Amino acid sequence: MALDYAPPNPPWQEIQNPTGAGYLSVFYSDDLSPLPVRFVTKPGDNKSDPNLETLTYGLFSTCSPSMRSGLVRRQAEYVFFATMRSAGRVLSGFYHIRWYAAANSPRKADFYLAADSAHFVEAAPSLGEVDRACRTNLNRRFRSTLVLEPNVCAALRRYLMRLPNALPTYIAEIDRLERFSLMHSGFRYPSWKRKDKFDWATAAKHLQQRAAVPSRTVVNASPTGRWKCSACSTGVENKALLRECPSCGAIGTLQPV
């Protein structure tokens, strides 16, 4: 059954000594949506994370590998999500991370993350507004992630929990954007040649055990926007590295051209 691959089932492992620490992670949000959901329709680079449908991060994409491995190493508990909107960077919500699993990946240390709960808000506040309310220092120059100490995570969690949880609304909006893409391109995710939604049945192949892959240098972006699959030799066009080849379905086989 599909749910056999959902945590707490193997290969998922529970974070044993959670510290209360976390990360602020910046993601791309969709220009076609009034909500700060992930950029489902981004041309040539469709986004699957944060994957609210399964409450996972990194299971279907290769985004933020250093953050994910750092969270496991530090036994952190939270990932807060920020994205750029017309008013600047906003805080959309958070995951409470409870489980992790070694990724089916050519990286030496790569992990999938899974949350046991999440809270996302419809009227996402700006980071400046959050700083004023929580006495934090988030509205500053940084690229993709910030390490957050436990006291900062606690303050951000309290702040967001005062606002209604719009997680079902976010998931419905992701589905709307996917159906829009399907109608116009024939795929929910054209870059992936993917017609189906993300769910635990989809996750099965990513979580099945296989022989270890020798470590090698892995890059998350191709300078040409093109990749070649070492399994089927097919060329793939996408800005970011995909977990699997859209043509043959092999995992961890794309290399930049």
DSSP letters spanning 104-162 = SSSSSS-EEEEEEEEEE-SSPPBHHHHHHHHT---SS--SSEEEE-HHHHHHHHHHHHT
Q: How large is the average pLDDT for residues 148-160?
A: 98
- On whether both 152 and 31 belong to a single domain, the answer is yes
Q: Which residue range forms the structural domain that includes residue 159?
A: 2-180
Q: How large is the average pLDDT for residues 109-117?
A: 95
- On whether both 24 and 89 belong to a single domain, the answer is yes
How does pLDDT run across 5-53, given as a tens digit for each residue?
899 999 999 999 999 999 999 999 999 999 999 999 999 999 999 999 9
- On whether both 233 and 162 belong to a single domain, the answer is no
- On whether both 235 and 159 belong to a single domain, the answer is no
Q: Sign of the CA dihedral 127, 132, 137, 140?
A: positive
- On whether both 47 and 104 belong to a single domain, the answer is yes
User: For residue 164, what is the DSSP state?
Assistant: P
User: For residue 7, what is the DSSP state?
Assistant: T
- Spatial CB neighbours of 26, under 8 Å, sequence gap ≥ 6: 81, 82, 83, 84, 89, 142, 143, 144, 145
- CA dihedral (219, 222, 227, 228) in degrees, to 10, reads -50
pLDDT value at position 206? 87
How does pLDDT run across 155-173, given as a tens digit for each residue?
999 999 999 999 999 999 9
202 phi and psi, to 5 degrees? -65, -35
- On whether both 111 and 223 belong to a single domain, the answer is no
Give the end of a domain, one of 180, 207, 227: 180
- On whether both 45 and 150 belong to a single domain, the answer is yes
DSSP 57-102: ESSSB---HHHHHHHHHHT--EEEEEEEETTEEEEEEEEEEEEEEE
Q: At what angle do helices 150-161 and 127-134 cross, to 10 degrees?
A: 110
pLDDT value at position 134? 98
Q: Is the per-residue pLDDT at 253 higher than 90?
A: no
pLDDT value at position 104? 85
Give the end of a domain, one of 149, 180, 211: 180
36 assigned to some structural domain:
yes
- On whether both 71 and 165 belong to a single domain, the answer is yes
The CB density around residue 32, as the number of other CB atoms within 10 Å, is 15
- On whether both 229 and 171 belong to a single domain, the answer is no
230 assigned to some structural domain:
yes
Most confident range (mean pLDDT) of 38-42, 211-215, 218-222 is 38-42
96 assigned to some structural domain:
yes
Q: How large is the average pLDDT for residues 56-74?
A: 95
What CATH number should be reported for the domain holding residue 239? 2.20.28
What CATH number should be reported for the domain holding residue 115? 3.10.590
204 assigned to some structural domain:
no
Share the mean pLDDT of the chain.
Answer: 93
Give the end of a domain, one of 120, 154, 180: 180
What is the tally of structural domains in the chain? Answer: 2
Strands 111-120 and 145-148: unpaired
